[in-house]
Structure 1
Amino acid sequence: MSFEKLNLIEPLLRALNTEGYTTPTPIQEQSIPILLERRDLLACAQTGTGKTAAFTLPILQLLHQDELFVKGPAGIKALILTPTRELAIQIGESIAAYGKYLRIRHTVIFGGVPQRSQTDALRAGVDILVATPGRLLDLMDQRFVKLQTLKVLVLDEADRMLDMGFIHDVKKVIAKVPTQRQTLFFSATMPPEIAKLADTILTNPQRVEVTPVSSTANTIQQSVFFVEKRDKKKLLLHLLKDQSIATALVFARTKHGADRVAKDLNQAGVRAEAIHGNKSQGARQRALSNFKSQHTRVLVATDIAARGIDVEDLSTVINYELPNVPETYVHRIGRTGRAGASGVSYSFCDEEEKEYLSDIHKLIKKTIPVVEDHPYPLLHAGMPKTHAAPAQRQGNSGNQQRRQGPGGGNRSRRPGGQGQQARSGNGRDGGRQGRSTDLPDLNQPAGDTPTQRPDNKGNAGRSEHGRHAGGRPDNRNQGGRSDNKNNGGRSGNGNTSNGRRSGNGHASGRPGNASPSQPGHSTHTGRSGQVKNADQPAKANQSDWSSLSDSQSDLDWGGGLHLSYE
């Protein structure tokens, strides 16, 4: 079946053709006709099935037709709720790509960044709003978001919202939207609480269920390299010394990461180009043409931008960063070894990505062989493994072949993300630490945090060792006020050794029992009876972060960064 047979309007067909899609995926083929009839939908679909396009295409068409034939009040017509910021961004990119020939306005809002640019976009007016629950409720409370004109409500990855603690926030939002609406409910699984919620908010829904891909071709020779994150560039250059690799498709998680890898390769004398959502269509087509003609040896791509790529005789796929969604791995390496031809897949895995690799092994039901004899081994492979946070499955990896329908993109999760309520193997990422001006790596987006109102000491996450956890913990070696031994005196998050609360608020220690200095920890010389705590956590500049609510304390995207799609 083609998209033309799904009764999509010409502007959408033109956009799909521009993106390189001709055939819908099963979820798209089943869902689009139902949604165009304005029926409620309950879809059991995992990441990798193309579900993002399954709801964005009909929403765009319905809103376009309403704009032409049903004049109504201005305001938000469609709300798409998603558990994580990167999934929200990916959906926004899909709307921008599919709706490029329509006059439909949209924006994306999520926590962890100042809200000014988001509220400016809302004031200008939007038809489609993509949002994470925490930031949405904040802006609703501030009266920046009004949903009286809402016609379509989408809950994407509802089971993930339950896992991440957003279900009560979702219920608060649902209570404030019109009862006369079309509701689309997507979930990979149906635990009892999710099934109960679906029964509550859906009216005579049509049910659709699809199964994602879960196997790799036997013609693909797969291998994995355990490597330090900082050494991945060197390892990539080492592999590319093999001149038998005529061309290689390299996958990165983010646009920034793709640009960085391409830049590093060019500086090392390897001709490379990057393609991602921030590149113009013309630039992407030129890069793909150069790659197909082998004028460019390496094409570095994000999963979203690579969805329309179809390169014959591609021999090598390199996962510079492992995807956090295992189905995405299957789609990535499926670019090689087609039609019975042989292919090679190399995957780089650092310490934080080991859990992603484990998920991939479970999906494909086999263990990928490890290459141990290489010049940049993972130095800390024998250290206790950090327990990564649950996968924030924030986007559809989609079907990646050119003749398949559009899907979503890869999503990033950050193990034990700062500011999240995450379970961390060593506890150092546990809980919120109040507002901080120390920005984490922009290349590691994480999920929005549930709407809570913690005090400034922070809420301790589930930590096995308790180190760095905020609040008033009970474990050993934790900061805050504690009666246990080995706890620091009034240290916000210190790791003092034999410290006691003294009259002047300083921690005293026995000679020779100094704790190693850690960033943001109390330092003790062990030389004197009373030594001031050094490197105490500085108070955040409240003027810089006054716009951040408590539910936005996860700063993985950094202050001042805003992605708006208009």
Structure 2
Amino acid sequence: MEQNNNRRRGFRGGKGKPRSAPFSGAANEGRRAPARDPLPTGPFADMGIDARINANIAAMGLNKPTPIQSQAIPSVVEGRDVLGLAQTGTGKTAAFGLPMLTRLIKFGKKPDPKTCRALILAPTRELATQIATNIDAYAEGTPIRSYRVVGGASINVQTERLSRGVDVLIATPGRLIDLIERRAVDLSQTTYLVLDEADQMLDIGFIHALRKIARILPRDRQTLLFSATMPKLMSELADTYLTDPIKVAVNPPGQAAKKIDQGVHFVNQGDKATLLAEYLSKHPGELAMVFGRTKHGCEKLSKLLEKWGFAVAAIHGNKSQGQRERALQAFRDGETQVLVATDVAARGLDIPQVAHVYNYDLPNVPENYVHRIGRTGRAGRDGNAIAFCAPAEVGELRAIERAMKSSIRVVGGEAPTGPIPSGQPSRGRGKPANTGGNKRPTRRPSRKPQGSRAKS
């Protein structure tokens, strides 16, 4: 009962008033006090981050807060709800993870069975995995324990692990609903909630799951919602989950990182595979991500590149969780240099060594272009992004340029002539990529304008 009273006092103050930290001060009277550490120093310490966590991030090379971290962390430490608008790769995980762990580390006792004190929701398995990896690194050497639950993995194993309770639960909405229906997880003690990449959760149809989860969570909680864009449904989501939030915004939606050198190469659809192989051959040993539109197209392309001698792996919705994790690990370790993926890998993959991103098929949603190319140019490094544009994709290209409010320089080929309907996508969306023939290319495709669309 004392715990519930403390949570009510700490997390939902009056409208417009900052809420005090729920895991410290009078709210913890009578609990086991954690051992005192030397006073931390540095910008993160100045914002109130715990000494042990501060030491961990310093060892990781995180010494200077990014703009989203500088703006969000003080408000989170104060106990305010936060609505953050920022692209992937801006440091959002640390922005919500560091103050969250700082609070949890002061709690002083283990969580009850089946409960979690903090819940982080992510749209994809890959993003959930990336968040879990970072949270574990931040919390190393502390009593905090996190656990990730996603589809494609054994739900019985997840149920058994949750029976002991966890401090931080990282989950995709679909799998969390499955566990709730099995009564394997109890959210009644969840006092800290994060919705990461919320706009993508809406894009892939999780709105009903999010509404159901919202009804189960206690009112007395602190909620952080991060999104790269603000579609109409986002306002409903924000109203449902947030109370008097502080709004922080960095890297306005639609803008790509300045360290990414972008280009577009106009090419006939049937010549894309040959052109891709030539680009990849120019940069041996460098990691490259290739984005396609469909699962079938990505699988077909990866097998063709493998036949041509490239070390390649593929990630898409038809792969099991184990296959996806093994593919990612091999890519991180450099065992494969090329990763072919659908948009499931467009967010959340933080692999600084990725030097090149190739948009083999232009995305249907213009904003996804920025998320895709954001897989390169990370951790202060330069990156390169080339978009392959077939005649039927010029509409998608123009939509991307309008969303970014800038044009992409032409690095090869010539734009097809003829009018493109303003504000309308090109025909042929959703069709599998044409990966051309099975013969390894030996010369660059012609740069002459293509007069007709190749069959796909």
Alignment TM-score, normalising by the size of structure 1:
0.49
Q: CA contact under 8 A between 1:159 and 1:189: conserved in structure 2?
A: yes
User: 2:162 aligned with 1:122, yes or no?
Assistant: yes
Q: Shift of residue 77 of structure 1?
A: 0.7
Q: Which has the larger radius of gyration?
A: 1
The answer for the alignment partner of 1:174 in structure 2 is 214
Q: Shift of residue 155 of structure 1?
A: 2.4
User: 2:273 aligned with 1:250, yes or no?
Assistant: no
The answer for the alignment partner of 1:104 in structure 2 is 144
Q: Shift of residue 100 of structure 1?
A: 3.6
Q: Secondary structure at the match of 1:49?
A: coil
The answer for the alignment partner of 1:21 in structure 2 is 62
Q: CA contact under 8 A between 1:337 and 1:344: conserved in structure 2?
A: no
Cα separation, partners in 2 of 1:21 and 1:226, compared to 1, 3 Å = farther
Deviation string 1:423-470 (CA, Å, 9 cap, x unpaired) is xxxxxxxxxxxxxxxxxxxxxxxxxxxxxxxxxxxxxxxxxxxxxxxx
- For the residues of structure 2 that align with 1:357 and 1:265, how far apart are their CA atoms? 30
Q: Shift of residue 364 of structure 1?
A: 5.8
- For the residues of structure 2 that align with 1:304 and 1:176, how far apart are their CA atoms? 27
**Which amino acid is the alignment partner of residue 92 of structure 1?**
A
The answer for the alignment partner of 1:63 in structure 2 is 104
User: 2:429 aligned with 1:386, yes or no?
Assistant: yes
Q: CA contact under 8 A between 1:40 and 1:204: conserved in structure 2?
A: yes
Cα separation, partners in 2 of 1:299 and 1:163, compared to 1, 3 Å = closer
- For the residues of structure 2 that align with 1:72 and 1:147, how far apart are their CA atoms? 12
Q: CA contact under 8 A between 2:81 and 2:223: conserved in structure 1?
A: yes
Q: How does 1:126-275 map to 2 (within 5 A)?
A: 126-190=166-230, 194-212=234-252, 214=255, 220=261, 222-224=263-265, 226=267, 232=273, 235=275, 237-239=277-279, 248-251=286-289
User: 2:80 aligned with 1:39, yes or no?
Assistant: yes
- For the residues of structure 1 that align with 2:117 and 2:224, how far apart are their CA atoms? 14
**Which amino acid is the alignment partner of residue 128 of structure 1?**
V
Cα separation, partners in 2 of 1:349 and 1:193, compared to 1, 3 Å = closer
The answer for the alignment partner of 1:6 in structure 2 is 47
Q: Shift of residue 182 of structure 1?
A: 1.4
- For the residues of structure 1 that align with 2:338 and 2:59, how far apart are their CA atoms? 20
Q: CA contact under 8 A between 2:352 and 2:377: conserved in structure 1?
A: no
Deviation string 1:158-191 (CA, Å, 9 cap, x unpaired) is 4444444433332221222222221222334455
Pairwise CA RMSD: 4.9
Q: Shift of residue 43 of structure 1?
A: 2.3
Q: How does 1:91-490 map to 2 (within 5 A)?
A: 91-111=131-151, 115-190=155-230, 194-212=234-252, 214=255, 220=261, 222-224=263-265, 226=267, 232=273, 235=275, 237-239=277-279, 248-251=286-289, 278=329, 308=352, 317-319=356-358, 325-328=368-371, 331=374, 334=377, 345-347=385-387, 360-361=400-401, 362-363=403-404, 365-369=406-410, 371-372=412-413, 384-387=427-430
Q: Secondary structure at the match of 1:127?
A: strand
User: 2:71 aligned with 1:30, yes or no?
Assistant: yes
Cα separation, partners in 2 of 1:305 and 1:181, compared to 1, 3 Å = closer
Listed as ranges, the gaps of 5+ residues in structure 2 are 1-41, 293-297, 313-325, 340-344, 415-425, 434-456
**Which amino acid is the alignment partner of residue 106 of structure 2?**
Q
- For the residues of structure 2 that align with 1:10 and 1:265, how far apart are their CA atoms? 52
User: 2:118 aligned with 1:78, yes or no?
Assistant: yes
Q: Shift of residue 144 of structure 1?
A: 0.7
The answer for the alignment partner of 1:483 in structure 2 is none
- For the residues of structure 2 that align with 1:65 and 1:350, how far apart are their CA atoms? 56
The count of corresponding residues between Structure 1 and Structure 2 is 347
- For the residues of structure 1 that align with 2:379 and 2:206, how far apart are their CA atoms? 39
- For the residues of structure 2 that align with 1:366 and 1:334, how far apart are their CA atoms? 19
Deviation string 1:519-542 (CA, Å, 9 cap, x unpaired) is xxxxxxxxxxxxxxxxxxxxxxxx
Q: Percent identity?
A: 35
**Which amino acid is the alignment partner of residue 194 of structure 2?**
V
Q: Shift of residue 29 of structure 1?
A: 1.0
Cα separation, partners in 2 of 1:336 and 1:128, compared to 1, 3 Å = closer
Q: CA contact under 8 A between 1:326 and 1:363: conserved in structure 2?
A: no
Deviation string 1:350-383 (CA, Å, 9 cap, x unpaired) is 999999866643426214526359xxxxxxxxx9
Q: Shift of residue 84 of structure 1?
A: 3.6
Q: Secondary structure at the match of 1:138?
A: helix
Q: Secondary structure at the match of 2:69?
A: helix
Cα separation, partners in 2 of 1:278 and 1:60, compared to 1, 3 Å = farther
Cα separation, partners in 2 of 1:145 and 1:278, compared to 1, 3 Å = same
- For the residues of structure 1 that align with 2:141 and 2:120, how far apart are their CA atoms? 21
**More divergent stretch after superposition (352-361 vs 54-63):** 352-361
- For the residues of structure 2 that align with 1:166 and 1:250, how far apart are their CA atoms? 30
**Which amino acid is the alignment partner of residue 278 of structure 1?**
Q
Q: CA contact under 8 A between 1:11 and 1:102: conserved in structure 2?
A: yes
Q: Shift of residue 384 of structure 1?
A: 4.9
Alignment TM-score, normalising by the size of structure 2:
0.58
The answer for the alignment partner of 2:449 in structure 1 is none
Cα separation, partners in 2 of 1:146 and 1:356, compared to 1, 3 Å = farther
- For the residues of structure 2 that align with 1:208 and 1:219, how far apart are their CA atoms? 24
Q: Shift of residue 223 of structure 1?
A: 3.8
Q: CA contact under 8 A between 1:31 and 1:54: conserved in structure 2?
A: yes
Q: Shift of residue 143 of structure 1?
A: 0.6
- For the residues of structure 2 that align with 1:86 and 1:116, how far apart are their CA atoms? 21
